[in-house]
């Protein structure tokens, strides 16, 4: 049997939970399905020091639990479950949960986030939260006057290396190819920065350390006759090889860009589908911060309330 709701929120994290707080306070009786990673990416982060309101910092899981409790306090119906397919071509919008239950929603807020791409090394999991990060802006502060490595050769990698160079003593930029793929201006900034050493034609194949990352195993000219292996001493290992927005189930249902991020109207969370809104990293390839995700979650809930009010629902 189908269930009908006024406002359905797909995904949790700062965007989803904030949308639930605002939607609940607006009497929209929101139903939120937490998705494959309840609490989002921040649940894999140890210390969060840049979210307003926590002067002493807070762990990612604790922050997400606080947001979840706040949403529940105002009446949000928060459930375990994963959206497995959607039908935005009919009205009400239909979302299938766990391949079985169909939710018919007058409005939908998509907050499914994006997942950082990793190299696939076992050590990335081993040292998660102990020196491995996919966000320099989030975690760079912990590496002041230390040595770090950034993996990648595009604009994001150069941007993160430059950002970290403003904090760290030294930054290695590990680039698989013999050149940078970044734009010319970003290449020049990285190359000319005295704190950044670029390791071209190199692959990071492992990490080592007793109580966290202390170094990386590097292979230069991997698989070639002149292959060379060496280690570098580092305190932090940053992945900057891209993010994958969690939008597979929305393909063909909503406008996505070439990477898969949801396209919204400039300055709003509105999508090309009436009554469907996007919040957080799923529609943000640029900032990817908890506070910006929370802000768009607020916007999405306000837009949903206005939409439902205009329709008389």
- What does the pLDDT look like over 170-211, one tens digit per residue? 999 999 999 999 889 999 999 999 999 999 999 999 999 999
What pLDDT band is residue 49 in, cutting at 50, 70 and 90? confident
Active-site annotation holds for 139: yes
- Structural domain boundaries in the chain: 3-115+244-311, 118-239
Q: 3-class secondary structure for 10-38?
A: ECCHHHHHHHHHHHHHCCCCCEEECCCCC
- pLDDT: is 242 or 78 the higher one? 78
The burial class, CB within 10 Å (0-12 / 13-18 / 19+), for 220 is middle
Does residue 112 contact residue 19 with C-beta atoms inside 8 Å?
Answer: no
Q: What is the pLDDT of residue 46?
A: 64
Judge whether 3-115+244-311 and 118-239 match in fold: yes
Of 7, 123, 135, 298, catalytic = 135
Total-model pTM:
0.80
- pLDDT of 135 > 90? The answer is no
Q: What is the pLDDT of residue 44?
A: 65
Does residue 149 contact residue 196 with C-beta atoms inside 8 Å?
Answer: no
Collapsing DSSP to helix, strand or coil, 64 comes out as helix
CATH of domain 118-239: 3.50.50.60
Q: What is the pLDDT of residue 45?
A: 66
What are the pLDDT digits (tens) for 227-274? 999 999 999 999 999 889 999 999 999 999 999 999 999 999 999 999
Of 7, 77, 123, 139, catalytic = 139
Instruction: Pick one of 1.10.10.10, 3.50.50.60, 2.40.33.10, 3.40.640.10 as the CATH number of 3-115+244-311.
Output: 3.50.50.60
Active-site annotation holds for 135: yes
d(CA 163, CA 183): 16
Who contacts 133 (Cβ-Cβ below 8 Å, separation ≥6)?
A: 139, 236, 237, 238, 239
Of 77, 87, 123, 138, catalytic = 138
d(CA 14, CA 281): 10
Smallest Cα–Cα separation from 265: which of 292, 228, 300, 217? 300
What are the pLDDT digits (tens) for 103-132? 999 999 999 999 888 999 999 999 988 999
């Amino acid at each position: 049997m189908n269930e009908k709701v006024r406002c359905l929120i797909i995904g949790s994290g700062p965007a989803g939970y904030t949308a639930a707080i605002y939607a609940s306070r607006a009497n929209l009786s929101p139903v939120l399905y937490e998705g494959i990673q309840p609490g989002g990416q921040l649940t894999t982060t140890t210390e969060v020091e840049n979210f307003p309101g926590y002067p002493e910092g807070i762990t990612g899981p604790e922050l997400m639990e606080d947001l979840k409790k706040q949403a529940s306090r105002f009446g949000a119906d928060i459930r375990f479950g994963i959206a497995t397919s959607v039908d935005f071509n009919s009205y009400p919008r239909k979302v299938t949960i766990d391949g079985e239950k169909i939710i018919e929603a007058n409005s939908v807020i998509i907050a499914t986030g994006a997942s950082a791409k990793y190299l696939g090394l076992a050590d990335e999991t081993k040292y998660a939260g102990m020196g491995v990060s996919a966000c320099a802006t989030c975690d760079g502060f912990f590496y002041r006057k230390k040595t770090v490595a950034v993996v990648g050769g595009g604009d994001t990698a150069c941007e993160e290396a430059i950002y970290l160079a403003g904090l760290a003593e030294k930054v290695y930029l590990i680039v698989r190819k013999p050149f940078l793929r970044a734009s010319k201006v970003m290449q020049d900034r990285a190359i000319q920065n005295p704190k950044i050493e670029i390791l071209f034609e190199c692959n990071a194949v492992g990490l080592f350390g007793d109580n966290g990352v202390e170094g990386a195993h590097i292979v230069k000219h991997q698989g070639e006759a002149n292959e060379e292996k060496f280690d570098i001493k580092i305190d932090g290992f940053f992945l900057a090889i891209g993010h994958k927005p969690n939008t597979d189930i929305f393909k063909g249902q909503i406008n996505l860009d070439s990477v898969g991020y949801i396209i919204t109207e400039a300055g709003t969370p509105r999508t090309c589908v009436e009554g469907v809104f996007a919040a957080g990293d799923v529609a943000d390839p640029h900032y990817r911060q908890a506070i910006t995700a929370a802000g768009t979650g607020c916007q999405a809930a306000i837009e949903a309330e206005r939409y439902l009010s205009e329709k008389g629902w």
